[in-house]
């Protein structure tokens, strides 16, 4: 029997939904994240894509947590890891994937709310919205996220409150996965533009975010901003 009642008294179809976590040198947070997810739901399938980590953190995931792990030998980029996670989930028959970052900045307690929203609204995407001013996030990061969300909203003609939040639930059959080419952090922005511009519908969920100011970040702000601008300008050639 693949159906069970969650703590929210909401039925989860474990053949339909899974959790996908792209990870690159996540350190101790990956095991903590897995444990936090299991505290929310014991049975939902978790897929971790190890994007060429060199810190041995992935090997620390306890076997009893029943996590599927796909590993790269070298670092391929977040976009590549997401696409690999999608492929692994599809191969196992899942229809929807809930994506979380491996750094514990996304609260797993909201997983069931994402699933509930999708079941109620029947949308192709459920996007997380962070409350920036309650996270201790530096002002330059808040400004950058606000600008990119504004530009993507203009591009797709619909309001996207937080285009850079990696906490999202997606239809794994979305054709945009095959149409996206960025291998790095801009994949998520490219995916949003191509999905929504071509008709995917969405709803949003407010999520608490813990910003680790002194923690590890693999994003170079200046370089990432340049890559976003390049992707955004290139998007006018797509449609």
- The answer on pLDDT for 213 being more than 60 is no
Contact 74/18 with Cβ under 8 angstroms? no
Q: Tens digit of pLDDT for each residue in 6-17?
A: 444 456 899 999
Give the per-residue pLDDT at 101. Answer: 95
Q: What is the C-alpha to C-alpha distance for residues 223 and 6, in angstroms, rounded to an integer?
A: 42
Structure tokens belonging to residue 182: 């960025």
The conformational region for residue 146 under phi > 0 = left, psi -120 to 50 = alpha, else beta, is alpha
CATH number for 110? 3.90.550.10
205, 183 Cβ separation under 8 angstroms: no
Domain extent at residue 133:
3-237
Which has more pLDDT, 136 or 197?
197
φ, ψ at 149 (rounded to 5°): -65, -40
Considering only residues 81 and 11, tell me which one the structure prediction assigns the higher pLDDT.
Answer: 81
How many domains does the structure of the chain reveal? 1
Q: State the distance between the two ends of the chain, measured CA to CA, in whole angstroms.
A: 45
Q: Who's near 91: CB < 8 A, 6+ residues apart?
A: none
Whether pLDDT at 200 is above 70: yes
* Average pLDDT for 63-68: 89
Instruction: Report d(CA 40, CA 235) in Å as an integer.
Output: 38
**What distance in Å separates the CA atoms of residue 236 and residue 239, rounded to the nearest whole number?**
6
Nearest-5° angle of CA 152, CA 104, CA 182? 35
Tens digit of pLDDT for each residue in 127-174? 999 876 655 677 777 888 899 999 999 999 999 999 999 999 999 999
Percent of the chain at pLDDT exceeding 90:
76
């Amino acid at each position: 029997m693949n159906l069970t009642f969650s703590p929210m008294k909401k039925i989860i179809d474990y053949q339909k939904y899974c959790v996908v976590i792209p990870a690159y040198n996540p350190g101790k947070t990956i095991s903590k994240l897995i444990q936090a997810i299991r505290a929310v739901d014991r049975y939902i399938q978790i897929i971790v894509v190890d994007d060429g980590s060199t810190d041995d953190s992935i090997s620390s995931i306890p076997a009893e947590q029943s996590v599927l792990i796909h590993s790269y030998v070298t670092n391929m980029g977040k976009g590549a890891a997401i696409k690999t996670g999608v492929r692994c989930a599809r191969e196992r028959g899942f229809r929807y994937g809930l994506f979380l970052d491996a750094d514990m900045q996304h609260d797993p307690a909201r997983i069931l709310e994402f699933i509930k929203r999708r079941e109620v609204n029947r949308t192709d995407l459920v996007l997380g919205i962070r409350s920036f001013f309650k996270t201790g996030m530096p002002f330059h990061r808040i400004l950058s996220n606000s600008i990119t969300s504004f530009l993507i909203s203009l591009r797709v003609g619909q309001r996207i409150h937080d285009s850079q939040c990696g906490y999202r639930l997606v239809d794994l059959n979305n054709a945009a996965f095959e149409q996206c080419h960025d291998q790095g952090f801009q994949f998520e922005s490219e995916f949003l533009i191509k999905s929504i511009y071509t008709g995917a519908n969405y709803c949003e969920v407010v999520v608490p975010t813990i910003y680790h100011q002194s923690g590890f970040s693999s994003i170079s702000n200046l370089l990432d901003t340049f890559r976003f601008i390049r992707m955004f300008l290139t998007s006018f050639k797509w449609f």
